[in-house]
Amino acid sequence: MRRPRTWQASAFCSLGLFLSVLVGASPASAMPHPEATACVTAPAAIGTAEAARGGHGVDTREVSPRQQRAIEARTRHLLAAKGAVLGRRAAVEIAVYVHVMASASGAGDVSQTRIDRQIVELNQDFAGGESAAAADTGFTFALAGVDRWYDDAWHQNQQASAFRAATRLGGKESLNIWVLDMNYLGIATFPWDYAASPDTDGIRVQYTTLPGGIETNYNLGKTASHETGHWLGLYHTFEGGCTTPNDRVSDTPAQASATGGCPTGRNSCSLAGKDPIHNYLDYSYDSCYNQFTAGQSNRMSQMWQAYRA
């Protein structure tokens, strides 16, 4: 991997200067930050074409089965039109732009060291570096820039369409990460929604989840890996519950609901295989996560070729 190019910028901004940008139209539900007292529906700041991670273990479905079928058909059409070779793993370095959305007083102004550790974590997780059972996905990440904004509303994930449109950098192949304070561990857009909503494409993560943060059980940087999996086209492993095709990946066994903690041996479905509690796309504790599967790697490669290449 080439040496990352980094730059630093600081800016004070006025929300009144920017217009809101509409996001995609597929229905979504989302999960709360694990410190929240109740499970709630996604607030208005969360786009309807996005997926969220939480810690309460309540099943969510971001995309209806009918919409999933349409997305899969569209993906096959795009891959065929591009002459993509199915089953060939992508070998892609992704430029990452990190936007630190701190409060006016500086709360959430995470250090450059923690940002660098987050990039190291992404590279480790997507390279299969945590388990012998993990797949090397072929995706690597290089920090392309960091900017810092000091605004209470943006820090609290308010007017999210506006601040993403105002700060997003790069094209469809660039990963933008907004680091802020919200009621969710993380939120991501899907690759098939980029064409309709390019200005809001990327992921948002709770700043306390970056490596070295204070989020109990979720402070190893795995939230960003989970959300980047969504950004590359993966559903939750519990998508659809005990059904086929559930998450549309054949080597992630179906599970009835999201995992909480790290319950070894959990088997919530009568279908073959125990719940994939160690998979980055479940809702397990960070310490429990250690793998993407070969099937997930293949799906991410296909989604990259169809929507981001």
Residues serving a catalytic function are 227
Which DSSP string do the residues of the chain spell out, in sequence order? -PPPP--EEEE---GGGS-------S-------TTSSS--PPPTTS-TTEEEE-SS-----SS-HHHHHHHHHHHHHHHHHHT--TTPPP-EEEEEEEEEEE-TT-TT---HHHHHHHHHHHHHHHTTTT-TT----SEEEEEEEEEEEE-HHHHTTTTHHHHHHHH--S-TTSEEEEEE--SSSEEEE-GGGTTT-GGG-SEEEEGGGSTT---TT--SSHHHHHHHHHHTTPPPTTTTSS-SSTTS-TTS---SS---S--TT---SSSSS---TTBTTS---GGG--B--HHHHHHHHHHIIIII-
Query: 228 Cβ partners below 8 Å, 6+ apart?
Result: 122, 126, 175, 188, 203
